[in-house]
Structure formats: structure tokens, C-alpha cells
Chain A
Amino acid sequence: VTPADKAQLSEELSAYLDGELEPPRSLEVEALLTEAREVRDLLHEHRRVSQRLCALPRVTAPIDLGAMIHEQIQSIPPTVSPKRAFAGAARIHLGVTGAAAAILLLAFSFWDFEPVSRHAAPSPALTAADELGRVMSETDQPDDRQWAKVTPEELEALQGLGYVGGSEDDAVAFADVLDRMEPVGGRETSVVLSAAPSVGESTAATDQGEIPTLIAKASPELAGGSPTTPGPLIQVTVQPPSAASFRRALALAQTVEPTKKEQPTADRERRDYAGSASPDSISSLLRALDRESPDGVRITMNFALSEIAQAREILREPTAEPSPAPTASERLAGRAIRAGADQVMDAPTAQARKDIFFQRGAPPVGAGKPSASRAPTTSEGASVQRESNSPVADSDDQRHPLVAAARQRSVESTADNAGRGNLSRGPAPIVGDMAAQAQLLQPYVPGLLMPWIPPAPPALAAWGKESISLGITVLPPPVHQPASSRPTETPAKP
């Protein structure tokens, strides 16, 4: 009898003790028990431990636990809290379909939903997946055609901030690039796994190998104000991004079961997001993502302009002036982001992309491709991350006060989270006003403004959102470009 056999037998005895051994083997084990004292002794040992555990006194909950839970549940905002109103306004469509392509979205992760408990008692943070589930269950605006209300100008700005399509190869290549990137100043970069506009279209396009065409087609439709399909609205973001996690997410997304559009059902929950994917599929996807990504999965939501405007209304201080309409320069910001994206994606090598991405020192607005002399070395890029977590000042702080400020906030945030017993997974987010974060992004994206982010609202605290992080990802092709003239080059795989 080898040690391996003994170990196997020991495990089988443990299962036998629990009545969980398959019948044929169970009979064999019983025979062994009759024959061999050693086997009986082993079973006895297992039983002894098990019985001791069973004999441990059961601990019951404190008498006030139920009341405390009830109290906390009551404190969860009812129907029209800002948070819910904001979330409820989001048209939530998980457009990942059975055959959906992965499309990388260039985006700000506008509002990164990572709810943190706001109760006094230290408690683990809720996951974004839960938040999404909650939002999904509460969404009460099944009509998701508001995209049609977006003006061409707004659309242009949104596209700049928003998404540009790419093929699956693009996506994976990009994920490979991201693999080599370090987070900047405490922020994390997002890879967004997204969807085609509709189940039908994505399926057809996939069948025909025309995913890029499909995406290029989607935006003009939206601009025309008579969309036949809703735009891709929700993206599953895997953070920290890696090629492996992206591939897993992609594989998972492809298993999501689509449901028929406008499927008649009496179940309101289903009706709310019928037409995208079934609730079970979404739950399954989220669970799997959560499991597959031990460092955390975040859900990033992108919103239509009308919703962003609504969010601004909600988040605005009561005494503040109404938010002005986006200015021309704000609209230009989107283009600026794309310019930054182009810089990265046009770089000949992965290392060059990384260098550009991490370049520090604000380049002039409208600057072209960065020169080699401006691109920092790999070690410099890595040092940004170290700085953001290190309380030790160095000369970089002098040159880049914004980076130093970000670092300081990151340190404070970490201390704050530790003090609260915040068990949120992943690096501590920068807690602070978004305007400052927007400024911080400027060195990395020439000419960047932050048009759609409301100014540092204290009201955030009121709806329990203690962290807001911004992510930026980059993608190559312009949306308006027809598929035929779309650049065909795929980013070089590192």
C-alpha cells in the first residue's frame, strides 16, 4: 500500500463517515473495515474529530442583531434616493450575447460603482456585482431608447469619452498591453468587455465576421435619432486587467444566454431587461467573474448624455447654479482623449505604448506624438506606482505636485479605509474630488478636460459612495469611419 493509496483511503473513509461515498466503493470500504484494524482505527480517528466538532457549543446571535440589521435595512434609501434614481435612470443592458464580440471601449469609467458600507460598524464592502444586481432589479425604465435624444454634438462628445469598437484580436492585444502597464497614481486602468448593440445584430454580425462593421454602423444610427437598437450600455470591467482575466471574461460573456427581445413575460424583473440577457445569465456571469478574479471585479457603467445630465442634477449642491450645458471646449475633450489614445495605439511597440501612457509632465495641448525624449523609461513608469503608495517624498513630488497630491490622497484613503475596517478588495481608491482627479489625468492625456464629471459633490457621501475612480483606456479606430476605410492594422501584440 503506497502513501498515495493511504491518503486516498483516508479521504474515502472521511466521505464514508459522512455517508457521501458512492455505493459501490462504500461496500468495498466496509469490507476493508471488517478485515483491517488499521482501517478501523483510521475511521475512528476521523469520527473522533468529527464528533468533537459536532460537540462544540453552538453560538447564537446576540439578541439585538436582528434589530440592528433591521435598522440598517431601513436606512437603505427607499425608492427615490439619489443613488437609486441615478442608477434607475441607467438603461441597463448587458449586451453580451451568445455570440457577441468583445469590443474594447475607450472610456472613462465614469462612475466606478464600488459601494462601500456607510454604516458605523466596520463591515466588508459590498461588491460591485451586488450593486449591479440591485440596480438591475430596481431599474424601472424599460424604455431604453433615450439614445435617440442625443444630439449629434452630444454624440460627438460622448463618443470621444465613450467607445470605439475593435475586433476581438484588438481587444486581446490591448489586454496584453495592459498587462504590462502599472496603475498610475492609484488609479487603475480598465479593460471593458462590452457588447454589440443587440442580440440579433451581434449574432448576425458575428456569423458574418463583421463585428467592426457593426460597431461602425451603430453610431451613425444613433446620431440619426432613429436607432433600431439601443447602444451598448453596460460593460463588465475586469480589474485589474490582464490578458488572462480578459480572456476569461470574454469566454464567460460568450456563454451568456440571450433572451428574445421584448419577450412577453409577467415577471417584471425579467421584463425590465428582457432583450439583453436573462437574469440568470447575468447573475451567473457576475458570480463567475467574481470568482475568477480574486482581486475583485468592478462594474463600470456608462451612461447616455441625458443620464449624465440627470446625474449632474442629482449630485449638484442644492444651492449651486444649474449645470451649464457642455461647452465647446468640453466637447473637444472627447477628441483630446482620442488623440491620446491614438498616440498610444500608434506607437510601434508595446513598450513604447507603455512609455507614452506613463509619460509625465503635461505636454502641450494638441501635441502630436510624443518624442522619444519625453517618454520615460520603464523604471520611471513603475516609480509612479510606488510613489502613489509611499509616504516618502522624493524629487518627483517637486516636479509633479499633482502626482504628489494624488499620492497623499491615496495614503489618506488607505489610512481612512483601514481605520474603518473597510474590507474592500483591491487597492484603496483615491477619495477626493473628481476635479482634482481630472487634473491629474491631464499630464497623460493632452488637452484633457473633464466635461461630464460634476464638480466635487459632497452629496456623494449622502448616497454612500465614498470612492470614485477614473479609468482610461485607449482604442484605435474612429467611430464614424466606415468599416472599409477603418485602419486594418492590429496593435502589435507584445
Chain B
Amino acid sequence: MPMEFAEKREPKPTIGVQVDDDSAREPLAFDSEANEAQLIRRAKRGDAEAFGQLVTHYQDRVYNTMYRMSNNHADAMDLTQTAFLKAFQALGRFDARAKFYTWLFRIAANLATSHYRSRVRRPTLSLHRGDDAQDHDPPAPQEAGPDGRAARSDLSQRLERALASLPEDFRVAVILKDLEDLDYSTIGEILEVPLGTVRSRIHRGRRMLREILTREEQLGDTGG
């Protein structure tokens, strides 16, 4: 089995999920835009290794977005794989003047949105009772003490639940802004919507989140 994608990464102690640390956020060996363009050209000619380098470079970002969209590691895994496969198959249509990650994220975002809508239409139940809870709980960060970890984990979980409850149009906009730190223009390109729509969706998404969290806090205060 070809392992060149994985070899560049340190072995991770957990399965399927990692809490990012500073080193993990550092870009991999990816010299420049020119380098990326060259990799894309090679990948267009069917060079799987070149495409593998693109995968290595972007997989964490895509995976993180997919996870935040689906709130489910299995789905995030499938969606990420599918996004890259689609990208590979559609590379011939990629316009070299565009930004690759914008194009890639557009594929991924469309997939995630379709996936979400499909799930709404056809809800599924896990055969493995209890797996879902585990699946939705990323491990707590290592840097805090036990109490801090617990508190932060609780807040994170509430926030994740709230995020997952947003309509997908708002959720993806908020994720791309607040988690991926993309500017409105790029988000507009990814979602193929005008800037005004981006602004509105981000605002409404944040407002909904605030309302959900506030309601939960009030319920917590009253013991509800």
C-alpha cells in the first residue's frame, strides 16, 4: 500500500482525531505557489504522487471543515476522501488562474451541503449504540489542567452541538470565516454567492449560535 502521504506525519496517539498544536499547523514542505502550480500540472497529467502532495498539504484543513460541517468523524473522513477524489477527477477543469484551495473547498463545501441535506431527508441510525457519542467527542486539549480541560471540553461540546444545529448555509459560512479564517471574498467564491450573502450568512449564523448558547446557559443556571 502506498504510504508516501502518511509518512510525512508523525504517528498520532489517537484514532481519527487530533487536537491541533502549533507544529501541526505549520505548512508542510510546500515551497510556493509556483510549486503548487507545478504539482497541479503534474496531477492533471495523472501524476498521483503530485496530487498526493496536494492532499498532504490540504487534507487537515479540508478534514477540519468537513468535521465541523458533519460533526462526525466517519462522515468527515468520507467527505474528505470524496472531495479529493472529485478534485482529482475534475482537475482537468481546474482553471490555473484560480486558487486551488478555493476550488478544492468549493468541492468540499458542496459535498458537505449535499450530504447534510441528504441526511435530513434520510436520517440514519447507527448500528453501534453509543458510538455516536464517542464519535462526536474530540479529545480535550492537552495543555490545560484537569479542571480546565473539563470546562473547556464542556464549552467546546456545547459550541459544537450549537454549530451542528445551524442550517447548513449558515454553518458553512461561519466555519469558513471563524475556523478557517477566510475572507469574505474567498468565502463568496467557495460558496458561489455574492459578498452581501456571505456577510448576511455569517452574521445570522453567529447570531443563532449566540442565542443557542445563551439559552443553554440560562437552562444550566436554572438547573434545566
A residues in contact (CB < 8 Å) with B: 10-11, 14-15, 18, 20, 45-46, 48-50, 52-74, 76, 78-79, 117, 119, 121-124, 126, 130-131, 133-134, 136-138, 269, 279-280, 282-283, 286-287, 291, 418, 421, 423, 425
Contact = CB atoms under 8 A, between A and B. Distances in A.
A282 B84 CA distance: 22
B167 interface: no
Contacts of B18: 59-60
Contact of B51 (A73, A79, A122, A134): A73
What's the dominant secondary structure at chain A's contact region? Answer: helix
B178 interface: yes
Contact of B202 (A14, A131, A134): A14
B15 A62 contact: yes
24 contacts: A18-B202, A49-B209, A50-B178, A54-B178, A55-B156, A57-B156, A58-B19, A59-B20, A65-B5, A65-B59, A69-B85, A79-B46, A123-B78, A123-B82, A126-B86, A130-B89, A134-B92, A136-B92, A137-B91, A279-B93, A283-B95, A418-B122, A423-B114, A423-B115
Interface in B179-224: 179, 181, 183-184, 192, 199-200, 202-203, 206-207, 209-210, 213
B114 A425 contact: yes
A119 B84 CA distance: 14
Given A11-B199, A137-B92, 19 more contacts: A15-B199, A46-B206, A50-B206, A53-B179, A56-B179, A57-B20, A58-B24, A58-B25, A63-B12, A66-B55, A69-B52, A78-B46, A119-B81, A124-B82, A124-B115, A126-B89, A280-B95, A421-B78, A423-B114
A53 B159 contact: yes
Given A54-B178, A60-B63, A49 B92 contact: no
B6 A67 contact: yes
Contact of A124 (B59, B79, B91): B79
A14 B199 contact: yes
Top 3 A-B pairs ranked by shortest CB distance?
Answer: A137-B92, A66-B5, A58-B20
Contacts of B1: 67, 71
Classify the secondary structure of B's interface with A. Answer: helix
A126 B92 CA distance: 15
B141 A57 contact: yes
B180 to A, nearest CB: 10
Contact of B55 (A70, A119, A137): A70
Contacts of A71: 1-2
Nearest to B206: A49
B79 A65 contact: no
Contacts of B141: 57
A53 B176 CA distance: 11
Nearest to B10: A63
Given A74-B2, A136-B93, A61 B159 contact: no
A130 B138 contact: no
A18 B156 contact: no
B105 interface: no
A126 to B, nearest CB: 6
Interface string B55-84: 110011011100110000100111111101
A50 B203 CA distance: 10
B48 interface: yes
Contacts of A60: 12, 17-18, 20, 24, 60, 63-64
A364 B89 CA distance: 47
A59 B62 CA distance: 10
Contacts of B9: 63, 66
A18, A65, A423: most-surrounded residue (chain B CB, <10 A): A65
B63 A61 contact: yes
B174 interface: yes
B11 interface: yes
B35 to A, nearest CB: 18
Interface string B152-176: 0001100110010000000000100
